[in-house]
Each structure stands twice: as C-alpha cells, then as structure tokens.
Amino acid sequence: MTLADEVRLVEVHKPDELPKNITMEQMAQLFHHKMAPYNDTLEDVRRALDYAFVPGKGQGGFMVLALRGEEMVGAVLFLDSGMGGYIPKHILLMVVVDPSLRGQGVGRRLCEHGIALCDGDVKLHVEHDNPARRLYERIGFTSKYLEMRYKKP
C-alpha cells in the first residue's frame, strides 16, 4: 500500500464541510507556506478561498483535502471561471502536498479526484521551472498558450 492509498480524500464545497479541526485560516496558511517557493501571498490565497466559497455567477469552486488520520497532508483548490470554451470552465488554482510527502502520489490523487468532479475543461498556470509541471503533464495537461501579463505602473 502506498501513501496515496493511505490518505482519505474529503471534498469541501462549503466552509462548513471542513473537518472540525481545520479552519479556513489554516487552509490559507497551508497553501501559502507549503507551496514555497511557488507560493502566492497570504492575502491572495485568502482571496482565492473567499472566491471559491462565494455563490454567484462566475464565482465558486471547491477543495479536496488529503487526510492521513486527522492530519491534513495535502489539498487542491479549484475555481469556477464562469466561462467555458475559449477559457475553460474550471481553474486548478493551487495544489499542495506536505514537502516531506511529495513524490508519493498524493498530489496526483488530489488532482485527478478534483478533475473528476469538474463538469468541463480545466486549466492551470504553472511556472516553467516548477517540478510539479511534470505531474500535470503526466495527468494530461498540455501547454496551449504562452501567458503574458502587463503590470500597470
């Protein structure tokens, strides 16, 4: 039995579906700290979690947690884009696995479970040098566009 087989996956569609010992702030801290050096600011992570659990057109999403016993060892966050077609309906925004447990199938299991819950195409952004890029490619993600950004002065 592998570590990925040992973890229990918990779907969270509303904040009150979080296990009793886990808060939204703990989720924000997990995504922020354990994703380093590819992490977003804590403020941006909090905004993403708020967006995921706000009902409304073009908003919403869900999380899948990986628990080993009562310990949270990983999580994935999907957002709904409110679109479909040109811009996929879902965005795999953040995936995190405890650094000491990476490479043991937990991230793959989280991503595949989350993708199975989506009722449309899924996109994600990954930095070109992020080792997780290989996982996403093995799952079936392909690179279609080069992302360019303009930052206002």
pLDDT given at position 57: 54
- What is the CB neighbour count within 10 angstroms for residue 128? 7
pLDDT given at position 45: 95
Q: Within the chain, how many helices (H) and strands (E) appear?
A: 5, 5
Residue entry with tokens 């009150």: 16
pLDDT given at position 117: 96
pLDDT given at position 127: 87
Least confident of 8-17, 29-38, 45-54, 140-149: 140-149
Which domains does the chain possess? 3-139 (3.40.630.30)
pLDDT at 128 over 90: no
CA separation for the pair 58, 55 (Å, rounded): 9
User: Each residue of 57-115: pLDDT tens digit?
Assistant: 557 999 999 999 989 999 999 999 888 888 899 999 999 999 999 999 999 999 999 99
